[in-house]
Structure 1
Amino acid sequence: MTISPKFRQALPGILAATALQLFALPSLADDVKLKLSGDVEVPPVTTMATGDGTITIKPDMSVSGKVMTSGLDGTMAHIHIGKAGSNGPVIITLSKSGDHDWMVPAGSKLSEAQYQAYKAGELYVNVHTAAHKPGEIRGQLMPPMMMAPKSAY
């Protein structure tokens, strides 16, 4: 079998691209941007309070991140397991850092079942207040792959 000179020139690039896909991409973390509001709480809450943040979830199931709120005095904040439109149990309690900031504690990890729930879009963050103990604002953690625009084909 004879290898063409053009193929021989392209081979290093093909191998490099393959190596990147096999080794580099799986190590990338998901940086999930989220917006929290009362209208997605269950049941919905009428409030002017809002929140936003970034939660990072790595393939090793470690979790880090921060949520910032405005317009409320939060008493607790959590990551829960639960589909949009339903409530579920707490899986990670966030730590208050300042008046309106909530941090994922260092060393936080998801179980395999929780990680699969995340991949299915079934984790959410909510912030509780004295006026709304079950939660005043909420945001669903949607993996980037679920947020990608659908192809027209």
Structure 2
Amino acid sequence: MKRGISFEIPNEYGTILREVLKPIDTTVFSWRIGNGESYIVVDDELDEALFSEDKKAIEGTELKKLLDNNKFYIVSADLQAYPKGGFTEIETYEDFIESHCELVLLVVDSCYFTIYCRNKETIELLYKNAADCGFEDIEYITEENDTRTRLSVW
């Protein structure tokens, strides 16, 4: 059974998070912002944090505006998409399955993306999108090859 996908992207400034999330209507979700380090890029220089440290959640419309109107650089990220409403603490894949969370996006070392997704059709769309974007080492995450013990970047 497919749990999600993983892939590598180039280590550069840009709009990669917007490109990765393209198959998803980000506006229909509330997004929990976990630990991470990412910056808005202004004049090819790192500027303020993409997600402020005091903000632990963002509505989908606000996330879309943020991603559509900025270049950014992501060192690490931990985002979780929920139907409008409350968040739950997710530490493992089993927690994810038992929660209302629809998607978990993890970025490590600026290049390594992992996406867990509840909806199987969305997994296929994310995989096709990653291939269309030219990302490398695209793989499905399955029960057999999932080595992750925690769904977090730290």
TM-score, length-scaled by structure 1? 0.29
Larger radius of gyration: 1
Structure with larger RCO (C-alpha < 8 A, sep 6+)? 2
TM-score, length-scaled by structure 2? 0.29
